[in-house]
Structure 1
Amino acid sequence: MTTRYIAAALLTAAAFGLVPLSTPASAQQAAPETQPIQAQPESKGEAAVSDQKIEAFAVAYLQVDKIRQEYAAKLQATQDAGAKQQLQTEGSKQMVQAVEGSPGISVEEYNSILTAAQNDPALVKRVQEKLQESAPTQQPATQQ
């Protein structure tokens, strides 16, 4: 149970702060001075993520992002702190369910790719390419 809550917390934190995936410059600026010598770990991280996992990540990410947008709007419209907490918990659960319902990826793998992408510009680029490829195929399915 604790692992699920940790995964949900990571997923929520990542989903509400996914700016690095949409702007590669942000990902590069995230930690340029804290870890200046990262060339070798980056290439290992990139090699460890298969194209199939990146594709599965992209599909799950699009679903999570849709939920994130929905709940961000709800959170902005809400003033009550208790209601905001409840919305965050509810949104987190829905994000976890979206990833769990996506074929070919687990919540742990999703979080792992997300974390790796925050420190690996090459991985960000690969993910962005898959997101661009996957987005058109996802749009009709999500606009029911």
Structure 2
Amino acid sequence: MKRSTKAALSAFLLTAGLASGAAMAQAAAPAPQPAQVQPITSPSDAQLEKFAAASQKVAMVANEYQPRFDSATDDASRQQILQEADAKMVELVRADGLTVEEFNGIGQAVQQDPQLRERVMQKLDNAPAVQQ
């Protein structure tokens, strides 16, 4: 089932909230504070295609883990859920040919630049359906 472009992009943007301590922050050991993300303001078409594919998958992981996170009863459980989601998101981003830093940088730029967001939406429109 193919997700609508707007829903997929919205899900990605919302994913930043769930994943701020997860894949959107660092792939390595958790740091006391999230790393500063530098926007990639001029990504290539190939990078945008990889980003679009990865963002759909990352959004699906976020959707999968959000109910578990919301129903967790303590901070330790929430942290474990975030770490598990993080590992999946990092794996998916890398499998689509991007580093976590590239993914985060493009994501930051997409949030700030309406024209870039439109380019990503076009890529999502043309992307094959992502299966859950």
* TM superposition score normalised by structure 1: 0.61
Kindly indicate whether residue 42 of structure 2 is the aligned counterpart of residue 51 of structure 1: no
Q: Aligned to 1:125, which of 93, 115, 118?
A: 118
- Counting helix residues as a fraction of each chain, which structure ranks higher? 1
Q: In the TM superposition, what whole-angstrom CA distance separates every residue of 1:109-140 from its partner, at most 9, and x where no partner exists?
A: 11110011121111111111212222xx233x
Letter in 1 for 2:102: E
CA distance in 1, matches of 2:81, 2:99: 23
Partner of 1:15: 15
Partner of 1:91: 85
Q: In the TM superposition, what whole-angstrom CA distance separates every residue of 1:42-101 from its partner, at most 9, and x where no partner exists?
A: xx92xx211111111011111111111111121122222211111011111111111011
Kindly indicate whether residue 97 of structure 2 is the aligned counterpart of residue 100 of structure 1: no
Letter in 2 for 1:138: A
Partner SS state of residue 51, structure 2:
helix
Unaligned runs of 5+ in 2: 1-12, 19-39
Kindly indicate whether residue 106 of structure 2 is the aligned counterpart of residue 113 of structure 1: yes
Cα RMSD (Å): 2.2
Unaligned runs of 5+ in 1: 1-12, 19-43
By how many angstroms is 1:14 displaced?
7.2
Q: Percent identity?
A: 33
Letter in 2 for 1:80: D
Letter in 2 for 1:52: A
CA distance in 1, matches of 2:55, 2:99: 12
Runs of 4 or more, structure 1, over 6 Å off, are none
* TM superposition score normalised by structure 2: 0.66
| Contact 1:16/1:68 (8 A) holds in 2 | no
Letter in 1 for 2:53: V
CA distance in 1, matches of 2:113, 2:17: 16
